[in-house]
Amino acid sequence: MKPFHPTPKTLMGPGPSDVPARILEAMARPTVGHLDPQFITLMDEIKSLLRFAFQTENPLTFPVSAPGSAGMETCFVNLIEPGDTVVVCVNGIFGGRMVENVTRAGAIAVVISDEWGKPVDPQKVEDTLKAHPEATILAFVHAETSTGVLSDAKTLCALAREHDCLTIVDAVTSLGGVPVKVDEWGVDAIYSGTQKCLSVPPGLSPISFGPRAIAAVEARITPVQSWFLDLSLVMNYWEGANPKSNARSYHHTAPINAMYALHEGLLMLHEEGLETAFARHQTQHEALRDGLENLGFSFLVEADYRLPQLNTVCIPERVTDEAAIRKTLLENHNLEIGAGLGALAGKVWRIGLMGASASPANVEKCLGALKQELG
């Protein structure tokens, strides 16, 4: 066995996305202690930059020390108590994962299903919330990574508020790529990932909890089932807001170098500006869309609720072995695109334009490689 020197790939799948050299360099800076005042300052800056990215003033905004799935679980296990009723919108694989989280936390999941490739239907949500006044939470995926669909988070959060439900929002693929307005929309709990539109290596899950969500955590009767993800403990490290002590206290050892990378990625987003980043994703999406349509691809998702950062296209009938094409792209063109998941496996490709991957060079490379391989 030898040191690992990967052949670099252009990452245009559903994440991870291309990581700029600047972020990789930041990640390789010397490791310091997790209670070193230098690192505490870094943590404060990360919290501040995440508030910018999430467009929120929520003090409890920080990265969970594990990938997006753990961010999801953090939201559910802290806000659910056994026996609760949670309304979950499922229009793709990640909504299904939410249901798993709900039932494993001992709650009852009321599932609203929409077709894969369609957004969550607000009318069904309203009807379901009316029919289930006992529900305490509405959970949905803002940007479904399995289908490339954007749902109307603003409308869904307003409905939840009308029916006295907290919201849990999956923003793994949306954060940094399309607007995510936590305060304006009244989102109560939200989680994301680093390896999508932030272009940071995977491993951390930014979350934000608003005042109503914190009140619910504080009013819990049962302990949170996960020690690692229990916000009442993690907060003491990230907030120093332990009522018993105003010092930061050790909870677990944070992934120090991963935090360096996240800090650098967030700085780059701040330098570019949110609106500019969103516009760049949209512009590159339009260029890719035009090129793909010229090659005979059609989109799974209607233009109105299509994610610019994740282009899910139906594989043309003339392609008889889609896995072989993806393999050729990866091996001969050093280009990664994503396969379909679940019911869409073998039927669609998911072509990501996330973060640094949303560039004219990537669009050109992808279109050129597809043209060559598909003829």
By CB under 8 A, the residues from 134 to 153 that bind its own copies are none
Options 24-32, 134-142, 157-165, 180-188: segment touching its own copies (CB under 8 A):
24-32
C-alpha distance from residue 192 to each of 140, 197, 322 (Å)? 13, 10, 30
**Two tokens at 2?**
């030898």
Contact string (CB under 8 A) for its own copies, positions 239-268, x = contact: -----------xxxxxxxxx-xx-xx--x-
**Smallest distance from its own copies to CB 208, Å:** 19
Q: Applying CB under 8 A, which of residues 91, 167, 195, 208 lies at the interface with its own copies?
A: 195
Smallest gap, in angstroms, from Cβ of residue 154 to its own copies? 28
Scanning 10-18, 54-62, 238-246, 305-313 for contacts with its own copies by CB under 8 A, the matching segment is 10-18
Least separation in angstroms between CB 61 and its own copies: 15
Which of 40, 111, 341, 343 is close enough to bind its own copies by CB under 8 A? 341
Q: Minimum CB separation from its own copies for residue 111, in Å?
A: 16
The SS3 of residue 168 is strand
Q: Applying CB under 8 A, which part among 2-10, 53-61, 236-244, 282-290 lies near its own copies? A: 2-10
Residues 26-55 that bind its own copies (CB under 8 A): 26-34, 36-39, 42, 45, 48-49
Please give the Cα distance from 98 to 205 (Å, whole number): 15
Which of 119, 203, 210, 355 is in the footprint of its own copies by CB under 8 A?
A: 203
What backbone phi and psi angles, to 5 degrees, belong to 44?
A: -60, -40
Our CB check for its own copies shows the closer of 105 and 313 to be 105
Is 273 a binding residue for its own copies by CB under 8 A? The answer is no
What is the spatial distance between Cα 141 and Cα 151, in angstroms, rounded to a whole number? 7
Minimum distance of its own copies from residue 229's CB (angstroms): 8
Site for its own copies in 343-372 (CB under 8 A): none
Residue 149 CA to its chain's centroid (Å)? 13
170 binds its own copies (CB under 8 A): no
Residue 24 CB, nearest distance to its own copies (Å)?
4
Integer Cα distance of 209 and 167 in angstroms: 10
* Torsion sign over Cα 245, 250, 254, 260: positive
Q: Which residues contact 287 (CB under 8 A, 6 or more apart)?
A: 360, 363
Figure out which of the listed residues 84, 100, 183, 373 binds its own copies, where binding follows CB under 8 A.
Answer: 100
Cα–Cα distance between 134 and 255 in angstroms, integer?
A: 39
Q: State CA 272 to chain mean position distance.
A: 20
User: Scanning residues 63 to 92, which ones bind its own copies (CB under 8 A)?
Assistant: 65-70, 72-73
Q: What is the DSSP string of 314-350?
A: EPPTT-S-HHHHHHHHHHHS-EEEEEP-GGGTTTEEE
* Residue 208 near residue 55, CB atoms below 8 Å: no
Q: Which is nearer to its own copies, 45 or 183 (CB)?
A: 45
Name the nearest CA neighbour of 200 among 281, 285, 274, 263: 263
User: Is the separation of the CB atoms in 162 and 196 below 8 Å?
Assistant: no
* Residue 274 in contact with its own copies, rule: CB under 8 A: no
Vertex 27: Cα angle to 270 and 272 (nearest 5) = 15
Is 1 a binding residue for its own copies by CB under 8 A? The answer is yes
Q: Does residue 322 bind its own copies (CB under 8 A)?
A: no
